[in-house]
Structure 1
């Protein structure tokens, strides 16, 4: 799976790491639903760190489309609320 973190680039995430990232995504979604800005900041930071830790940077210069796009670390709760679908930031 190719994941883009806005402002950072693309990462190749192995299939066996997607469920772990979904757990981190659920924490982001929960914080957005409750409007808890502090929990949101922590959860989004953990999700982005999880992508960076479990993935390798996608080859620079390729024109491959991303399977999903994540907001940057400095995204606001309101901005992410607008991005969320019924499946969170990471579908599945």
Structure 2
């Protein structure tokens, strides 16, 4: 595992950053915990990649607050693409 940042999916909307931090702190130093509100996911950055791997191994597919967590290594954020509104992207003005 290369990174220390983890994607945490399938969270209930009521979960907050303190709960996420507490859950992951059992596996090492939590540098940051961020819940994306009303989206059902968040990110946790661990102190080392070994700690991140240990947390992912221990918590992936476990039940937390009634939901089965999905934990993966976080991917770098991709820039958003602007679609050609008149062409293939949005289909605006085109009927099939």
Bigger strand fraction = 2
Bigger helix fraction = 1
Higher alpha-carbon Rg: 2
Give the structure, 1 or 2, with the largest relative contact order (CA under 8 Å, sep 6 or more).
1
